[in-house]
Amino acid sequence: MLILGALLLALIVADFQTDSLRGFKKATAWIAAPFYWLSQQPSQIYNDVSSYFVSRDRLLVENERLQSEARILQGKVQKLVSLTAENVRLRELLSSSTVLRDSVLVAETISVSPNPLQHQIVINKNELHGVFVGQAVIDAYGLIGQVIEVNGLHAKVILISDVRHAIPVQINRNGVRAVAEGTGRIDTLSLPNLVETTDIKAGDLLVSSGLGQRFPVGYPVGVVESVESDPGLPFLKVVVRPSAKLDRVGHVLLVFAGEQPQTRATIAN
Residues 136 and 235 in one domain: yes
Which residues have a Cβ under 8 Å from the Cβ of 166 and sit 6 or more positions away? 179, 180, 181, 182
Provide the strand spans (E) within the chain: 103-112, 120-123, 136-138, 143-150, 155-159, 166-171, 177-182, 189-190, 205-208, 220-228, 237-242, 251-256
Q: How many CB atoms lie within 10 A of CB 93?
A: 19
Same domain, residue pair 228 and 139: yes
What local confidence, expressed as pLDDT, does residue 192 receive?
Answer: 94
- Residue 210: what pLDDT? 85
Q: Give the pLDDT confidence score for residue 50 in this predicted structure.
A: 58
pLDDT at position 195 is 92
Pick the last residue of a domain from 99, 114, 149.
99
Which residues of the chain fall short of a pLDDT of 50?
4, 8, 11-14, 16-17, 20-21, 24-25, 79, 81-82, 260-269
SS3 141: coil
Domain identity same for 259 and 126: yes
Query: Do residues 130 and 259 share a domain?
Result: yes
In whole angstroms, what separates CA 88 from the centre of its chain? 13
Residue 119 sits in the same domain as residue 213: yes
Q: Residue 20 belongs to what domain range?
A: 1-99
What is the rounded distance in angstroms from the CA atom of residue 113 to the CA atom of residue 119?
7
Do 138 and 37 share a structural domain?
A: no
CATH number at residue 205: 2.40.10.340
Structural domain total, the chain: 2
Do 24 and 51 lie in one domain? The reply is yes
Give the end of a domain, one of 99, 121, 138: 99
Are residue 61 and residue 112 in the same domain, yes or no? no
Mark which of 53, 82, 99 sits at the end of a domain: 99
Q: Are residues 24 and 140 in the same domain?
A: no
pLDDT the model gives residue 140: 83
